[in-house]
Chains A and B, each alone.
Chain A
């Protein structure tokens, strides 16, 4: 269970570290081909996880281009797959929520002496609710994901077995009660994470 959290939390941190700045940047700049890029990102938000897993497997496989890393069937491979699944979600949601911030506000802040950077940070802070929703969505999509982590993690007992893959195994074994118990833990974790974030939103609103 802690492994589930560990994998998902590290994947989410990476996704946020990449996705939030990229999403903010995309929201605030205009360039050629942006529509195409947007369409790509929205497609990425719905990437089939198993396909992501397959591609990551092919890359990390001993006969693949990144085989030398020896990441296959390790936590790292799972994190990579989850980052690929969650990042477009974080980028997309960050982008649309930063875009929803009144553009006049940024100009107004510039007129109060904000540097471009400070105004951008302020816009991101304004969009915090949306960004948090994006992170929650990303978290939900990867903690409950099974196909990709099964493929690249291998569901190795004590190493890469996470809640979802354990549920699959126990179901296959016919231990429906154990599978269900694990499923409940999974749900509880999701719920707890979401609750904490929602509470965080409440705190932010009061500040």
Chain B
């Protein structure tokens, strides 16, 4: 794991209407790490992830993405640079086409005609080969989420952004998706940013953890520090389950 910054955030604020929903004085994400972003509902986790996916630009401050020798922002990134990232949303929004076409979508966008093998491999990895021709509306929640994950994995992104990929899923699907994340990280050194409100999941997967509360960054540290010796009392409170979410 090389120690090179991938994201640097300075004084980043995001404002919706008149409300500041995210306010981060400084945050750095290292290349190759698995960063878990935890916090209760409404803390601004998804907002942070959308910024990192270059889907939105911050209202104030600066978020730089370091790609090779370039530093880009949401405004300056080229489509080729954007395509080094892939994000899976909290709620899987699938196309009304069959599962295989959904998984192939990102490759087709990139003009890759010979992606069939990769698509089949991705389907295999999420154990959906038998449902390749099924229509999304016939799938269970767990299956839909697995399609969404496969759709991102097949792109072999350099940065994988996952927004609560296992929320509301049964233990079987949780385990399956977690093992995919772990495998992606070890086999490809993909940088993974994982939003979750499940601290146990963060503990199982993350190398580093940040806690957001009401848009503010409360604590940031390696997984060990975060869980075993939190600096901020609110982190301890969050870990002990005192926040309702």
Binding site for B on A (CB under 8 A): 102, 104-105, 107-115, 118, 122, 125-126, 205, 207
User: What residues on A are CB-neighbors of B86 within 8 Å?
Assistant: 111-113
- Sample 17 A-B pairs with CB under 8 A, ordered by A number: A104-B93, A107-B50, A107-B55, A107-B89, A111-B55, A111-B86, A111-B89, A112-B87, A112-B109, A113-B82, A113-B109, A114-B109, A115-B79, A115-B109, A118-B109, A126-B95, A126-B96
> Taking the complex as formed, is B110 at the interface, i.e. its CB lies under 8 A from any CB of chain A?
yes
**Number of residues on chain B facing chain A (CB within 8 A):** 26
Contact of A111 among B85, B98, B110, B135 (CB under 8 A): B85
> Taking the complex as formed, is B91 at the interface, i.e. its CB lies under 8 A from any CB of chain A?
yes
> Taking the complex as formed, is B40 at the interface, i.e. its CB lies under 8 A from any CB of chain A?
no
User: What residues on B are CB-neighbors of A107 within 8 Å?
Assistant: 50, 55, 89
The answer to whether A113 and B55 have CB atoms under 8 Å apart is no
Q: Mostly helix, strand, loop or mixed at chain A's interface?
A: helix
Instruction: List CB contacts (< 8 Å) of B193-220 with chain A.
Output: none
The answer to whether B98 and A109 have CB atoms under 8 Å apart is no
Contact of A112 among B50, B91, B98, B151 (CB under 8 A): B151
User: What residues on B are CB-neighbors of A113 within 8 Å?
Assistant: 79, 82-83, 85-86, 106, 109-110, 155
B172 to chain A, nearest CB (A): 25
Report the nearest B residue to A108, measured CB to CB: B93
A126 to chain B, nearest CB (A): 6
Contact of A105 among B93, B151, B152 (CB under 8 A): B93
The answer to whether A111 and B53 have CB atoms under 8 Å apart is yes
> Taking the complex as formed, is B71 at the interface, i.e. its CB lies under 8 A from any CB of chain A?
no
B104 to chain A, nearest CB (A): 11
Contact of B55 among A105, A110, A125 (CB under 8 A): A110
> Taking the complex as formed, is B105 at the interface, i.e. its CB lies under 8 A from any CB of chain A?
yes
The answer to whether B93 and A112 have CB atoms under 8 Å apart is no
The answer to whether A108 and B109 have CB atoms under 8 Å apart is no
Report the nearest A residue to B108, measured CB to CB: A118
> Taking the complex as formed, is B97 at the interface, i.e. its CB lies under 8 A from any CB of chain A?
yes
The answer to whether A111 and B79 have CB atoms under 8 Å apart is no
B53 to chain A, nearest CB (A): 5
- Would you give the 0/1 interface string for B109-144, flagging 1 where the beta carbon is closer than 8 Å to chain A? 110000000000000000000000001000000000
User: What residues on A are CB-neighbors of B83 within 8 Å?
Assistant: 113
* A111 to B109 CA separation, bound complex (whole angstroms): 12
Instruction: List CB contacts (< 8 Å) of B57-106 with chain A.
Output: 79, 82-83, 85-87, 89, 91, 93, 95-98, 101, 105-106
* A112 to B98 CA separation, bound complex (whole angstroms): 17
B69 to chain A, nearest CB (A): 22
Residue of A114, A115, A207 most packed against chain B (CB within 10 A): A114
User: What residues on A are CB-neighbors of B109 within 8 Å?
Assistant: 112-115, 118
Report the nearest A residue to B110, measured CB to CB: A113
Residue of B82, B85, B135, B161 most packed against chain A (CB within 10 A): B82
The answer to whether A112 and B96 have CB atoms under 8 Å apart is no
User: What residues on B are CB-neighbors of A122 within 8 Å?
Assistant: 95, 105
A118 to chain B, nearest CB (A): 6
Residue of A105, A107, A112 most packed against chain B (CB within 10 A): A112
User: What residues on B are CB-neighbors of A126 within 8 Å?
Assistant: 95-96
Knowing that A115-B109, A207-B101 are A-B contacts, what are 12 other residue pairs whose CB atoms are under 8 Å apart, sorted by A's residue number?
A104-B89, A108-B93, A112-B87, A112-B151, A112-B152, A113-B82, A113-B110, A113-B155, A118-B109, A122-B95, A126-B95, A205-B135
User: What residues on B are CB-neighbors of A110 within 8 Å?
Assistant: 55
